[in-house]
A and B are shown apart, each in its own frame.
Chain A
């Protein structure tokens, strides 16, 4: 996998302590671009593992009986699937990979604020991930779901649960290190003259996300440490037999884990805001409202956690408050979607893979958002909570949302990273199979949940068999869709068309350097880009110019 992302070796390189060539991707490099790619490739490897686990789940559910694997193993598989996909794929990739690669460019810096901390943050991930996966082979992995609700997590085999806690703590630590680094970089490392309101939208998204990371991840860490005390030292924080309270765990857990959803989708929102204007040849619509809505999502995202607990003995006033707060997140989110639609409107849209994946994201996420507003309503939630309706809902958010954007971003930035273009027809094929497979897999699950199939079960009523088989076929298509993508990124690294520095004629600063960019990003002074979305022609000079928009190369305007 590393081979796919190895750019041409630089011929004349100043001597340094950092390794050169492909070896630096396996080293403790402090170059933000190397670290970004390390995150991406490592995350993708875990995506393949998590995908294989999902395949195992869908195979088990192809028949109503529990016949493919033992029930204990099934619970381990679903726990690992959730944990791997969240903590080892989506969070590290949308934050760590693209954040590290892009943020220093966007603020006009030569690296992140704390390069060594950055490398530490990455190198926590592979051991934590391997620890998690190896627990399956050593003693059996945790069986209590990625939520690890006590008392179940106290009564299932302890070693698997402890290893799970350890690896999540490491991954949470990595996430916090990354968050601190992003906040410092965005606020403090901006090129002189670059104002906050001139930053590309991804910076704002990462600023908001990092605030959420720094505020909420420590709560998860504390909670899991208490949980491990309960398991190892037989304390009674969450053990009702010893006077503990399990609902307290749920509050603390969701205080992190609901913002975690925004930690997974806000960066995706930012990436889409970068991709669409370039390929539509239009400015990003409503820059200021985009910024305000990101910050509104951050604030609201911190006060909605109890909507995961509507059936677990919460007082009525609390149910009411969290209903209203949750539903109101739809307003800033809606603003962002309408802004993207307005960005598409009247553009000159290149229908390439990056745009197709972005538009697939819009469609999927809107559906996930609509079911989300419905789920916020207590009476509705009381019926479908913990059912396949919820499973469908959050896969529309994190797969249809974040993962689609990850693919869109790979298609968009691959020329910058490798200096070569990806194969466009293969990319569109990838999009087509992914989109059809995804919707075939998850849309029917809404019906399953409404009609009585709970989540996290290895067996179900025979009346649900057909829809489950349909869903499994969709999952198979999603697995197949990875093949053209893998072939594309590997083959194009060696024989793709040479991209040039700026194949998309984009204006954001990462394109104003060579592809792949040199160490420290620019040969000369960093460019000052005050209008990152200055595409488009004014209405009165529509036919006069044939070529692109304003030239913003001038660094000292």
Chain B
């Protein structure tokens, strides 16, 4: 009982994660807290059992006899088969639910396909979907704002961000708070991975497989974009920054770089 309460307390109060800055980060954190509580209860329980057994049942001076000849206990064995099975099943269903809320179960590339094929106009190849937040974007105010399309090119050892609406290329990803973003990602040479720890999102960018990643930033700030797949000697230096800013700042930045300003406005 103490163990369970302690585990729950640890799960709720020990924060090991960076700040959450995207719409799916709080959902992720919910899953993390549940996993962390269950894990803490299990680990502390077993650690306690081992230490207790080692002290309580240690061989003392002068003891020569064997321990009790217990070869098994069916009810006990059924219990510790059933309980983990139920816990695992619960975690599986819970994470399935979380996954669905993150938009991961959206059929492969269907939403994304229509969006990108509208802009790219010739997408005969299959577009591989990434995890994203299309489910959220239809329910919140984002439904009003169309997603901001950005084309991401990953190469040794940099990310390039092309804004098709302005026809310019940037080394940093600028996105406005609260507006869904659709990244159409492509790798030039080897596998890279697009990871923003504060967004709790990661997607491999695989050569030959156009990939789409959706997310909605919720908190202004500058966050690192990290390449998470070994891509060569300068893998550790392959980083960029995502700048989440309010709409005015974003518009100002966009206008400054816009090459299509005459036609786009």
Taking beta carbons and an 8 Å cutoff, which residues of A are in contact with B? 66, 70-72, 74-75, 143-145, 149, 151-152, 155-156, 240-241, 244-247, 280-289, 311-313, 315-316, 319-320, 323-324, 327-328, 330-331, 334-335, 337-339, 341-342, 344-351, 355, 359, 362-363, 366-367, 370-371, 373-374, 377-380, 382-383, 385-387, 446-447, 450-452, 454-461, 533-539, 542-543, 545-549
Contacts and interface: CB of A to CB of B under 8 A. Distances in A.
Nearest to A385: B202
B239 to A, nearest CB: 9
Nearest to B88: A327
Given A324-B92, A330-B84, A373-B91, A546 B226 contact: no
B42 A370 contact: yes
Interface residues of B, number: 84
B95 A71 contact: no
Given A149-B190, A247-B206, A349-B57, 12 more contacts: A151-B190, A241-B207, A285-B71, A287-B72, A311-B203, A316-B106, A346-B67, A362-B46, A379-B104, A454-B195, A535-B69, A548-B66
11 contacts: A71-B236, A151-B191, A282-B69, A283-B69, A312-B206, A345-B53, A378-B131, A382-B203, A383-B201, A452-B195, A535-B67
A319 B106 CA distance: 12
A156 B35 contact: no
B229 interface: yes
A525 B189 CA distance: 65
Interface string B226-239: 11111111111100
A342 B76 contact: yes
Contacts of B65: 281, 348, 537, 542-543, 545-547
Contact of B68 (A287, A346, A370): A346
Contacts of A245: 208
Interface in B54-94: 54, 57-59, 63-73, 76-77, 80-81, 84-85, 88, 91-92
Closest 5 CB pairs of A and B: A536-B69, A240-B208, A457-B236, A452-B197, A71-B233
Nearest to A365: B46
B47 interface: yes
A316 B53 contact: no
Contacts of B96: 320, 323
B53 A378 contact: no
A537 B91 CA distance: 41
Contacts of A341: 46, 49-50, 53
Contacts of A533: 71
Contacts of A378: 95, 99, 104, 131
Contacts of B207: 151, 240-241, 246
Contacts of A315: 108
Contacts of B206: 240, 246-247, 312-313
Nearest to A144: B230
Contact of A335 (B77, B106, B129, B230): B77
B227 A454 contact: yes
Interface string B109-133: 0000000000000000000111100
B68 A380 contact: no
A458 B211 CA distance: 28
A348 B63 contact: yes
A362 B43 CA distance: 10
Q: Which of A283, A366, A383, A539 has the most CB of B within 10 A?
A: A383
B58 A383 contact: no
Contacts of B32: 380
Contact of B53 (A344, A538, A539): A344
A19 to B, nearest CB: 42
A335 B235 CA distance: 41
A289 to B, nearest CB: 5
B80 A313 contact: no
A345 B77 contact: no
B158 interface: no
Contact of B228 (A152, A359, A385): A385
Contacts of B67: 280-282, 346-348, 535-537
